[in-house]
Amino acid sequence: MDIGSVGIIGAGQMGNGIAHVMALAGYDVVLNDVSQEALDGALGRIEKNLDRQVSKGKLEQEMRDAAVARISTTLELDPVGQCDLVIEAATEREEVKQKIFDALVPKLKPETILTSNTSSISITRLASRTDRPERFMGFHFMNPVPVMSLVELIRGIATDQETYEACLAVVEKLGKTAASAEDFPAFIVNRILVPMINEAVYTLYEGVGNVSSIDEAMKLGANHPMGPLELADFIGLDTCLAIMNVLHDGLADTKYRPCPLLTKYVEAGWLGRKAGRGFYDYR
């Protein structure tokens, strides 16, 4: 199946990055959100990030302008349903995603491939609520999307080979590399990464180190580009907690229990960079 247009649901930090790379690769993009403010903010961020690429000499001005012209925004689901590929990139909460799929499915073209950028929720379960489990899969980008070269592709139990190959071709056209993961809680990257972040929060909670010593230790001692607490703030502490809960519930193993300090920060609304405060203060 030839993909020419991509609908993206959710204009947050993942959705705007996905729109950016899809438009640059030549796809017509329909970006949807429930808030006009979020759509305007996303377009502004995309233009700013593209301008940075132009000013660094990594992108021609004409390509930048063509990419921006390929993106349309909408508060409605109808134009999204007309796209060849839809990527849902809304909040990492299953009930939110299911509501979106319930509303979207009646508007989809029969041949549209439906995917979710979920970082941890069961693809098989999400697919089972739609009319097309065979044309449904996980399409998981890493943050920041324009910089990170990996996309995890996750097949649900019913996903057919044609759907997988069409999604793989999109990843290749983006110039990114796909890692195929089986549909188990948090797939590959977050199964490994988020428990490490959770362990870093335990290290802080137990007083083994402070915020800066923990991050410095992992940056200089393990060559990580960001320390685990800085990375947690970057991902969002609510997302990290949601992923730990999916692992804990789905694998029923106490080694995945979320650190109480992580829970407390989320309860306080200290969600990381996006909230202005997490393990660091961004205000």
Residue 190 as a binder of ligand CAA (CB under 6 A): the answer is yes
Query: Would residue 190 show up in a list of annotated catalytic residues for this protein?
Result: yes
* Residue 244 marked in a binding site: no
Residue 58 as a binder of ligand CAA (CB under 6 A): the answer is yes
> Which residue, 146 or 209, is less far from ligand CAA as judged by CB?
146
Query: Would residue 210 show up in a list of annotated catalytic residues for this protein?
Result: no
d(CA 67, CA 83): 17
Residue 147 as a binder of ligand CAA (CB under 6 A): the answer is yes
Q: Count the residues of the shown chain that bind ligand CAA, applying the rule CB under 6 A.
A: 19
Query: Would residue 212 show up in a list of annotated catalytic residues for this protein?
Result: no
> Which residue, 84 or 238, is less far from ligand CAA as judged by CB?
238
- Which candidate in 88, 152, 198, 230 is catalytic? 152
Answer for which of 3, 168, 169, 189 binds ligand CAA (CB under 6 A) is 189
Residue 108 as a binder of ligand CAA (CB under 6 A): the answer is no
The residues of the shown chain that bind ligand CAA, judged by CB under 6 A, are 49, 52, 56, 58, 119, 142-144, 146-148, 189-190, 193, 225-226, 231, 235, 239
Q: Which residues are catalytic?
A: 119, 140, 152, 190
